[in-house]
Amino acid sequence: MGCTASKYAIGRKKRKLNIPEISIFVPSMRAPVQSDLRRWLRGLIPTDLADRIVSLRNQIVLVAEDTGGSAVTELQRALEEYLPLLLGLIKKEHGLQEAVEFKWKNLEDGRQEVCVANSWFEILSVIHMMAMLTLSEANSMLIPKDYSGSSERLVSADCMRDAVDLLLKASGYLEFCIRDGLVRLPPDIKKRLPKDLHEGVLQAISIQALGQGTEIQLGLAIESQNATSSVKRRLACEQMSYYGQAHYCLSGCNIGGGYGKKNLLFIKWKYLEAKAAAYYYHGLILDKGTEPSSHVSAVCCVLAAEKLLSESKKACLSFCLAVPVTRAPPPWGAIKHLNKKIPEVAAKKSQIYGYLLDQENGVQILPDLPEFQLSLKPDDYVLPEIDSAWGSEKWEIPCQPFKEHLKYFEDAMETE
């Protein structure tokens, strides 16, 4: 008996543990659940139009379940094709906005979150999924396909710019959800929405995407010979503001544990990195002054930057270890440069101006950082044109005898 057991144990293959790498934070993705839409659409719209709606939705369901949402291009294409068909259901003249029941679930835990008979809920969910897929695509842009395990990483300027464009696009999707999606739903449905679709959460993810875009822009500025310390300081300060706003929005929501808690840890990590960068460049600018007080302030800034950088590394570790466990990327972009320069400059300035700090009798006041108007804005997303099939003047809706429809409806209810 014992030999048999050990024999099977030896032959069993260990499952490789795959811990995802996070450069761009992607909240948990929601996906549609298989449901009998034909039952709801029967007798309301032409059969061929109903078949197209059902077929495309089923395609999204299957691809999302089979890949866990990783087939970004295929899913985006299907969602973009599905959306114009959906728009016919919200036209007042068709009277179908509350005629169909839609089901969605969280891909991470498989839990069915909500089932709603409202077409605006389906549109809101589709655009939210498009935003999550776009964030996932931006994350992939910054992770090389042939990862070698190096302690540092080189990300091309083109990939960085493409990632910024995707972040602005994702932010635009989320702003649409807030501005044009949520407002269309009645209060009773809003109360039943999953946490991912609450206004504060959507706002936080949208603003956070702008903060991550600004972080990438800072990396591009550091690599540019034409960007001054003032430009870099401004970008770092703007990055701080975005993350501060995102934290304010998210902390005011009932997010629970899991991805909500992890998202707050991500924001804290990135906020500390941004603040370290802001004080570092503020110190470099102040050090150009001629008064001794300017040099003292400069030293205070770079020493503060060094401390903040150390705190950000601890915050990064806390983020990575929070469930679900993730990996931080090797240093790249702005942080790759700052990890090297901040300790070097802090040590150098302390050595040069240490006597001035001694003369201040240890009383050092950290200067305030300047405030700037935020530069990045979400893309302005608008719904596509309604599918031409809805414009057909000669609809042939199959006539269904009342008794047959009633029997079908009762049978469907019994199977639920």
Mean pLDDT, residues 106-121 taken together? 86
Among the residue ranges 168-182, 225-239, 313-327, 398-412, the one predicted with the least confidence is 398-412
Q: What is the pLDDT of residue 357?
A: 67
**Residues 18-62: pLDDT tens digits?**
888 999 999 989 999 998 888 888 888 998 999 999 999 999 999
For residue 415, what pLDDT band results from cuts at 50, 70 and 90?
low
Q: What is the pLDDT of residue 7?
A: 40
216 neighbors 233 (Cβ within 8 angstroms):
no
Mean pLDDT, residues 114-127 taken together? 95
Q: What is the pLDDT of residue 296?
A: 86
171 neighbors 154 (Cβ within 8 angstroms):
no
Residue carrying structure tokens 């009645």: 186
**pLDDT exceeds cutoff 90 at 187:** yes
**pLDDT exceeds cutoff 80 at 170:** yes
260 neighbors 253 (Cβ within 8 angstroms):
yes
**pLDDT exceeds cutoff 70 at 230:** yes
Residue 308 tokens, joined: 């903040």
> What pTM was computed for the model?
0.89
Q: What is the pLDDT of residue 149?
A: 58
Please name which of 198, 195, 232 lies closest in space to residue 217, comparing C-alpha atoms: 232
Please name which of 6, 396, 378, 410 lies closest in space to residue 202, comparing C-alpha atoms: 378
For residue 262, the Cα-to-chain-centroid distance in whole angstroms is 12
**pLDDT exceeds cutoff 70 at 79:** yes
Question: Mean pLDDT in the chain?
Answer: 88
**pLDDT exceeds cutoff 50 at 401:** no
Mean pLDDT, residues 88-105 taken together? 90
**Residues 299-358: pLDDT tens digits?**
999 999 999 999 999 999 999 999 999 999 899 999 999 999 999 999 998 888 776 666
Reply yes or no: is the peptide bond before residue 20 cis, omega within 30 of 0.
Answer: no
User: Distance of CA 54 to CAs 58, 60, 126, Å?
Assistant: 6, 10, 14
Q: What is the pLDDT of residue 1?
A: 42
How many angstroms separate the CA atoms of 254 and 250, rounded? 8
How many angstroms separate the CA atoms of 66 and 130, rounded? 17
Non-local (6+) Cβ contacts of 285 within 8 A are: 229, 230, 233
Q: What is the pLDDT of residue 359?
A: 63
How many angstroms separate the CA atoms of 276 and 303, rounded? 9
**pLDDT exceeds cutoff 80 at 111:** no
Among the residue ranges 90-104, 139-153, 231-245, 329-343, the one predicted with the least confidence is 139-153
For residue 93, what pLDDT band results from cuts at 50, 70 and 90?
confident
104 φ, ψ to 5°?
-135, 155
For residue 410, what pLDDT band results from cuts at 50, 70 and 90?
low
Strand ranges (DSSP E) for 263-377? none
**Residues 194-224: pLDDT tens digits?**
999 999 999 999 999 999 999 999 999 999 9
**Residues 274-313: pLDDT tens digits?**
999 999 999 999 999 888 788 889 999 999 999 999 999 9
Share of the chain above pLDDT 90, in %: 68
Task: Report the first-to-last Cα separation within the chain, whole angstroms.
Answer: 46
How many angstroms separate the CA atoms of 122 and 139, rounded? 26
How many angstroms separate the CA atoms of 324 and 344, rounded? 35
Q: What is the pLDDT of residue 5?
A: 42
Share of the chain above pLDDT 70, in %: 86
Q: What is the pLDDT of residue 405?
A: 47
Higher-scoring residue by pLDDT: 342, 113: 342
How many angstroms separate the CA atoms of 56 and 140, rounded? 26
**pLDDT exceeds cutoff 70 at 397:** no
Q: What is the pLDDT of residue 290?
A: 84
How many angstroms separate the CA atoms of 360 and 381, rounded? 55
Q: What is the pLDDT of residue 10?
A: 43
For residue 8, what pLDDT band results from cuts at 50, 70 and 90?
very low
Q: What is the pLDDT of residue 9?
A: 42
Task: Decide: helix, strand or coil at residue 288.
Answer: coil
